[in-house]
A and B are shown apart, each in its own frame.
Chain A
Amino acid sequence: ETGVTQTPRHLVMGMTNKKSLKCEQHLGHNAMYWYKQSAKKPLELMFVYSLEERVENNSVPSRFSPECPNSSHLFLHLHTLQPEDSALYLCASSQQGSDRGTEAFFGQGTRLTVV
């Protein structure tokens, strides 16, 4: 069983669809992240949840809506996306709390195509 699992691995959706990405971590971590990686661009931090509370929202459009029901699960709800939202969406988790923090472990990502 991998540490961070994302489903689905691939997703094709129309601009009027509503879909959700799921992430689950089995590492006992207390922080979870959503990152977006577009083609030939760096990883962009979208959201950070620490102890199930959203602590960072990096100016992400409202058509992306995160949900963190508990420390092991993270969702990204998608609606009325645009073709430019096509990208690799990566979930990560880490153990935070001290002043140092620890490294993040990533899921394999969901490759999203908006048509």
Chain B
Amino acid sequence: RKEVEQDPGPFNVPEGATVAFNCTYSNSASQSFFWYRQDCRKEPKLLMSVYSSGNEDGRFTAQLNRASQYISLLIRDSKLSDSATYLCVVNMEYGNKLVFGAGTILRVKS
């Protein structure tokens, strides 16, 4: 089983749609979780951290389900500029091993 697993997509959605991505992780002792965004031929950039209580930043909502070992990202009112690859990241051990999922491709079309 992969340490961090994501549906690669692509998810093709119209502008204004709501889209959700899930990510599962294998290590139940993992402590920190993040969503990153990567544009084509660019470096990954932090989108948001994921907390047990869930967190929201504008159109983006992240949730953590420790019992089922998955995290999710919800994007509401999709914009063309949201088109990118979204990477799920898990800190697998105490502080030292950030593992990236393969990424989910999102394409928002007008």
Instruction: Using CB atoms and an 8 Å cutoff, list the residues of chain A in contact with chain B.
Output: 31, 33, 35, 41-43, 45, 48, 50, 55-56, 88, 90, 92, 94, 96-109, 111
Contacts and interface: CB of A to CB of B under 8 A. Distances in A.
Contacts of A108: 42-43
A43 B96 contact: no
B98 A94 contact: yes
Contacts of A48: 96-97
Nearest to A30: B95
B97 A106 contact: no
Contact of B95 (A101, A105, A106, A109): A101
Contacts of A111: 41
Interface residues on B, range: 20 to 34
A33 B96 CA distance: 10
Interface stretch (B44-52, B55-63, B65-73): B44-52
B98 A33 contact: yes
23 contacts: A31-B96, A42-B100, A42-B102, A43-B44, A43-B100, A45-B97, A48-B96, A55-B96, A56-B96, A90-B43, A90-B44, A96-B95, A96-B96, A98-B95, A99-B95, A100-B91, A101-B95, A103-B34, A106-B43, A106-B44, A106-B45, A108-B42, A109-B43
